Amino acid sequence: MNEPMNEPIVPSKIHFVKVGNGRLALNHRPRSVDFPHLRALGCTHLVTLLREDEGAGKFRELSKSHGINWIGLAVPNGKYPEGEVHERLVAAMPELSRLLDEGNSLMIHCSAGIHRTGMVSYALLRWRGLSPAQAMNVIGQMRKETAEGMMDKRKVWGDRVALLAPPPKRTWFESLVASARDRLTGLLRPRQNPGKSGTKK
């Protein structure tokens, strides 16, 4: 009787989507076999939302050994972030956004890649100025399972985070257009006739 052949271990399906100048992907807890695949896909940063007791250190070491930068951003669970967790996540948004602006490729993951991953990625997209519908559309492109598992309470937190984001910077062209519009408005504004102002004697 022939021995059954072991099936090859296939890397997880990871789909990067362009966000700003960079790319973003979402996934469940990556396996060891996924790291060479991530490297080949051009992943520059792995964002781990797991706690140390969930094995976060393992992903730190695997990232290091495959030349991928590791960011540990522990989120205790998929509940609405409050207190220190909320503050820590909000403080991370500018840095994650900057990495995307600089053209990096980030993959965010928790354990199942649904609750915590969806919540943080939605908040990041909203921080960057996307509308709720746009953010959900991008999440759906990255990972259908994450989009389907999003709940309103997690979107509410992301919308709250978006209110804390600084206003988007204008490009030089947008500034030029705004300046020209302001000058044109000033030229077209009716001017008061000095001779007709004041009270008649």
Domain region containing 139? 17-172
pLDDT category of residue 182 using cuts at 50, 70 and 90: confident
User: Mean per-residue pLDDT for 55-62?
Assistant: 97
Residue 174: per-residue pLDDT: 59
Domain presence at residue 177:
no
Domain at 22, CATH number: 3.90.190.10
Domain presence at residue 85:
yes
Domain presence at residue 131:
yes
User: Mean per-residue pLDDT for 5-32?
Assistant: 86
Residue 1: per-residue pLDDT: 41
What does the chain look like in DSSP terms, one character per residue?
Answer: -PPPPPPP-PPPP---EEETTEEEEEESSPPTTHHHHHHHTT--EEEE---GGGTHHHHHHHHHHTT-EEEE----SSSPP-HHHHHHHHHHHHHHHHHHHTT-EEEEE-SSSSHHHHHHHHHHHHHTT--HHHHHHHHHHH-HHHHHT--HHHHHHHHHHHTTSPPPPPPHHHHHHHHHHHHHHHHHSPPP-GGG-S---
Q: What is the pLDDT of residues 128-178, one digit of tens each?
A: 999 999 999 999 999 999 999 998 888 999 999 999 998 866 566 655 776
Domain presence at residue 179:
no
Domain presence at residue 180:
no
Domain presence at residue 145:
yes
Domain presence at residue 201:
no
Residue 3: per-residue pLDDT: 42
Domain presence at residue 182:
no
Number of domains the chain is built from: 1
Mean per-residue pLDDT over the chain, rounded? 88
Residue 181: per-residue pLDDT: 77
Query: Over 90: is that where the pLDDT of 25 sits?
Result: yes
As a whole-number percent, the residues of the chain with pLDDT over 90 amount to: 71
